[in-house]
């Protein structure tokens, strides 16, 4: 009596993987994985939600589109790119994660990141905290005055805003002027002691970019463009990104 042959199915066709390969240089090297696990060993998100970079990449390669585009693990990735640095084949896993994030409907993405991105898009400061250019100027001038008076050795210290011709254009984590304004001062002191010619911009001074983490390309571009335009309009030569 003959037995029916066992038919082994090939891997699933992945439309997600095809899309990623089209958009990345050389396809992102995603087919070069050696399954060595080096990416997972240094990843701060390994083990969260039962996922890690190696498993995520292999699932993508096997065509498990539904699983990789719905796992909340993609929002745990910090985009630190350690996986690329340790990968012997330099596979761009963070870009794969980024495209997986874009597959989520915008309104279903994490509320904290979504809210911060949208807030930054509402004002010229590009502040995720919603601080306006006038709010920022008031806080900077107020804190600067306090330290100039309390610490005579820094009486000549400056924290300029929209200073034309400054060498460096400085941005700022927008949480600090709102909740921890004294945290801005140590960097001012360093720049003062070093004799650096620098300035903030009243527009685009918010240093963080939550739209990047939200995988919102247009929002990401708008925030970067606003900041860079202000730096160029002021004639600055170096963009100093504190974030």
Quick one: pLDDT band at residue 13, thresholds 50, 70, 90? low
pLDDT in tens, 73-96: 999 999 899 999 999 888 888 988
Quick one: pLDDT band at residue 6, thresholds 50, 70, 90? very low
Alpha carbon distance 59, 96 (integer Å)? 11
Give the number of other Cβ atoms within 10 Å of residue 132's Cβ. 14
Alpha carbon distance 52, 70 (integer Å)? 14
Which residues, other chains included, contact 215 with Cβ-Cβ below 8 Å and sequence gap of 6+? 98, 99, 101, 102, 104, 109
Q: What is the mean pLDDT of residues 65-80?
A: 91
Alpha carbon distance 73, 79 (integer Å)? 12
Q: What is the mean pLDDT of residues 141-155?
A: 96
In whole angstroms, how far apart are CA 6 and each of 3, 10, 13, 135?
9, 13, 21, 70
pLDDT at 1 > cutoff 80: no
In whole angstroms, how far apart are CA 67 and each of 19, 56, 232?
16, 9, 44
Q: What is the mean pLDDT of residues 146-165?
A: 97
Q: Where are the beta strands (DSSP E) in 54-202?
A: 168-170, 198-200
User: Mean of the per-residue pLDDT values for the chain?
Assistant: 89
Report yes or no: 74 and 51 within 8 Å, Cβ to Cβ: no
pLDDT at 31 > cutoff 90: no
Q: Where are the domains of the chain?
A: 15-104, 111-240
15-104 has which fold?
Answer: Fumarate Reductase Iron-sulfur Protein; Chain B, domain 2 (1.10.1060)
Report yes or no: 88 and 54 within 8 Å, Cβ to Cβ: no
DSSP state of 125: T
């Amino acid at each position: 009596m003959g037995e029916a042959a066992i038919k082994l199915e090939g891997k699933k066709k992945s439309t997600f993987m095809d899309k990623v390969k089209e958009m990345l240089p050389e396809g992102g090297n995603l087919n070069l994985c050696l399954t060595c696990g080096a990416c997972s060993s240094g990843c701060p998100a390994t083990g969260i939600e039962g996922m890690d970079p190696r498993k995520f990449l292999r699932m993508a390669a096997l065509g498990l589109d539904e699983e990789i585009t719905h796992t909340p693990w993609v929002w745990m990735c910090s985009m630190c790119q350690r996986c690329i640095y340790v990968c012997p084949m330099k596979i761009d896993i963070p870009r794969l994660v980024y495209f997986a994030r874009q597959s989520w409907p915008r309104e279903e993405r994490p509320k904290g990141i979504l809210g911060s991105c949208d807030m930054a898009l509402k004002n010229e400061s590009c502040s995720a905290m919603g601080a306006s250019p006038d709010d920022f100027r008031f806080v900077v001038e107020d804190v600067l005055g306090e330290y100039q008076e309390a610490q005579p050795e820094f009486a000549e210290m400056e924290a300029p805003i929209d200073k034309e011709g400054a060498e460096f254009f400085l941005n700022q984590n927008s949480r600090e002027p709102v909740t921890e304004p004294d945290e801005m001062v140590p960097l001012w002191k360093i720049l003062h002691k070093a004799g650096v010619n620098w300035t903030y911009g009243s527009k685009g001074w918010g240093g963080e970019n939550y739209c990047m983490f939200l995988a919102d390309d247009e929002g990401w571009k708008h925030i970067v463009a606003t900041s860079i335009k202000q730096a160029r309009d002021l004639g600055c030569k170096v963009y100093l990104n504190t974030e």
